[in-house]
Structure 1
Amino acid sequence: MTFREFMQENGYELQTTFWNDFSIADRFGLSAVQDTFNRAFEEWKENYKYLTELVLVLNHKVWQYHEKRSDYATLYNTLYIQADQYAAENLKDEELSYFYDVTD
């Protein structure tokens, strides 16, 4: 099952290209993953729906690599924690509710 199919099965319709962006970056190494995160996070951290999807993608990338590529899993986990913590500390009211509803 693809990430898109998994999300649709759970009632979530993708709004960004984050999954594809990170999948492309995966092919170019850890520095490309970090660069992709830096660009996406800086560009979209103020958009609560995109930030939510970024956290979802990072979390799924951790699971994608946790058994076969610990270096990727470790980086994705670090990025996930950073984005998740930012969301928890900066989103308020309906935005925070949306974040927790979607990521729970």
Structure 2
Amino acid sequence: MLSFFKRSPEISISELKALLKGNIPFIDVRSLDEYALGHIKGAKNVPLEQIDSFNGKKEAAVYVICRSGIRSKQAAAYLTKAGYQAVHVRGGMNRWDEKRKGGYEK
């Protein structure tokens, strides 16, 4: 079956945690209010409705997260179509268990 859409790669939360030990491009596409309630340290907030304003480096992978994985999958698809190497984080912040152990900012 032919696909007209280029699918973005995806990773799990545990794979993301390992990558976060380095300095990776990482965006959180939740709303400003959701982001303000708490986010992963180092994540840049680019709400889904503003994803077209993202201006990162196209030669490096950019990791994308939201609350459950739905918006980040949409954002990653948009970014991939725009020429970025976007990687969707499965499960989103609902799967992030570091809220009480560090690696989480308010």
Tell me the TM-score normalized by structure 1: 0.35
> TM-score, structure 2 length as denominator?
0.35
Relative contact order (C-alpha < 8 Å, sep 6+): which is higher? 2
